[in-house]
Amino acid sequence: MEYLHNVIDLFNYYKSLGDKAINQVTDDEKLNWNPSIESNSIATIVKHLNGNMLSRWTDFLTTDGEKDFRNRDEEFLNDLDNRKDILAVWEQGWKVLFDALHNLSESDLSRIIYIRNEGHTVIQAINRQLAHYSYHIGQIVYLARLISGKEWQSLSIPKGYSIKYNSAKFAKEKRIQNFTKEI
């Protein structure tokens, strides 16, 4: 169960990075901005994550992770045009993911599930999705940073503050603690 607790913390951490980045884009129209014709906007990335989450985590243990209801190509159409809809889609996907994870037991972790007919242990499937989502959340953070410009508030250690940050960390006693606990 330690693995499940840790991975849930990590998913929460990456969701919080996405939440904080999206919140820094104060002009709703800019959630649909993309730096080039081949790039995706924050809204489009959110829509893609939602489609993936609904497909992968619905009936997670009993059906293939690529569901018949999913139309992946439509996920990349930039048609979410307001913050309310973008955030609703964002929260819907995360709810399905967290519901699935919270319903797993330790014995489920070694079960075989399928994504596009490729077998994965539940642990492998979780790790696959954690990597996929963190990749796209990094894109959301980068886009939000570009959009926000000088108004951007760092989501990690700001430039020029590494020494101060590390001094504070090393001033504390050694402990076992996941870095996500300090969010």
pLDDT of residue 19: 98
Q: What value does the mean pLDDT take over residues 20-44?
A: 96
pLDDT tens digits, residue range 90-106?
999 999 999 999 999 99
Strand partners of residue 118 = 115
Within 10 Å of residue 92's Cβ, how many Cβ atoms? 13
Owner of token pair 């293939």: 64
Q: Is the pLDDT of residue 157 over 70?
A: yes
Task: Say if residues 122 and 110 touch (Cβ distance below 8 Å).
Answer: yes
Q: Which amino acid is at 14?
A: Y
pLDDT of residue 148: 96
Q: Beta-strand (E) ranges in 2-134?
A: 112-115, 118-121
What domains are defined for the chain? Answer: 2-182 (1.20.120.450)
- pTM for the full predicted model: 0.94
pLDDT of residue 121: 98
pLDDT tens digits, residue range 39-61?
999 999 999 999 999 999 999 99
